[in-house]
Amino acid sequence: MKTIAIFSAFYPPHVGGVESYVYYLSKELERAGYRVIIVTSNEEKIQSVEDEGNVRIIRLPIFKIFSQRFPLPKKNKEFKHLMSLLDSESIDHIIVNTRFHLTSMVGAKYGYTHHIKVSLIEHGSNHLTVDHKLFDLLGEKVEHALTWRIKKYVFDYYGVSRAASKWIEHFKVKSSGEWYNSIDVNQQTPTREKQKLFTFSYAGRIIKQKGIENVLDAYSKLQSEYPNMQLIIAGEGNQKEELEKKYKDNKSIRFLGRIEKKEVLNLLAKSDVFLYPPIWPEGLPSSILEAGLLRTPVITTAQGGITEIIQDQSNGLLVKEDSNSLYQAMKELLMHENLRSELGNSLHRTVEDKFSWRSTANKVISDISK
């Protein structure tokens, strides 16, 4: 049995796109007969080592500072012990996720020093941002420095979308192809449930770059005209507390906080329309694929790899990065049930045809076997 080690800054129960990617890829690789070792951060302060079938999860200790965005490994006695567990494994290949997370650096360096090939997956299509001009500038310099360093240890590179593959050319790196973000099209999904109130939903990080302010502005405007509706928001982020306070008097808006993956699918099954309008480039968002699996129509923006999934008016609606454009699209879907059904069914077909984890896992296996 061959063994693949996958290093990722985050992993479930932490919720996010990279976490979902690593989780589902590991499960599909396991089904294909591989042993998989996930090395991640113990941001949740839970059990350090877990075994789930032929998948072993090792959670490294980290410092509290920046733990939700940029976990810093704490290289103490526990760290050394957990990393030593890898020495007893016969690892054939290492995959690291994102260039700038230090967990990826740990994995890439481990592979280099132990003469194991390392592949890096690019998940983004632009620089990381914290929406602060000076910090973003410093962040870009740090990102370039970390990329320059990790390049010494990495054998080849892949993107989760064509946009991601194109983006890493900015760092003078050539992608060897795409290992597409995908979805388990055969998983058991909840039955769609019609709610008493027309339901818009959002699931993702509560940060400016995701367009959450536009979601709330557009919804508030629409709800003043059509009060029989609700907006349900799932996720955590640095804007959550501020926005909860701002909209605390609007009882039709619910902030759920962080929820498990199963609960995200349940939320999508109860939603009439899913909103995901980032104002900053994305890789290839898992939440849009999940919405497609549940036949939930999507309103989004043409950022990064999103246009590799959504074709405007064919299997979703693409809007500009402002609240008025979003408001108009939300109103259009609110008023036209047939259009909602057509877009949801079309997106479902797209996801089934092009974005299955089996196809992605087969591509990974083929590429690392060369």
In this prediction, residue 186 carries a pLDDT of: 86
Angle (CA) 101-104-105 rounded to 5° is 95
Angle (CA) 124-275-16 rounded to 5° is 40
Q: At 283, is the pLDDT very low, low, confident or very high (cuts 50, 70, 90)?
A: confident
Contact call for residues 9 and 104 (beta carbons, < 8 A): yes
Arithmetic mean of pLDDT, 278-305: 94
Domain boundaries, the chain: 3-182+356-368, 198-354
Contact call for residues 38 and 6 (beta carbons, < 8 A): yes
198-354 homologous superfamily: Glycogen Phosphorylase B; (3.40.50.2000)
In this prediction, residue 118 carries a pLDDT of: 98
Q: Is it the case that residue 295 has pLDDT exceeding 90? A: yes
Please, what is the average pLDDT of the chain? 94
What is the CATH architecture assignment of 3-182+356-368? Answer: 3-Layer(aba) Sandwich (3.40)
Q: Which of 313, 275, 314 is nearest to 296 (CA)?
A: 275
Q: At 176, is the pLDDT very low, low, confident or very high (cuts 50, 70, 90)?
A: very high
Task: For residue range 9-35, list pLDDT tens digits in order.
Answer: 999 888 778 998 999 999 999 999 999
Arithmetic mean of pLDDT, 308-318: 97
In this prediction, residue 23 carries a pLDDT of: 94
Q: Is it the case that residue 132 has pLDDT exceeding 80? A: no
Q: Which of 103, 94, 113, 95 is nearest to 152 (CA)?
A: 113
Q: At 151, is the pLDDT very low, low, confident or very high (cuts 50, 70, 90)?
A: very high
Contact call for residues 229 and 200 (beta carbons, < 8 A): yes
Q: What percent of the chain has pLDDT over 70?
A: 99
Total-model pTM: 0.81
Contact call for residues 26 and 6 (beta carbons, < 8 A): yes
Contact call for residues 304 and 125 (beta carbons, < 8 A): yes
Whether 3-182+356-368 shares its CATH topology with 198-354 is answered yes
Query: What does each C-alpha distance from 2 to 5, 23, 65, 343, 366 come to in angstroms?
Result: 10, 18, 36, 42, 13
Q: How far apart are the first and last CA of the chain?
A: 17
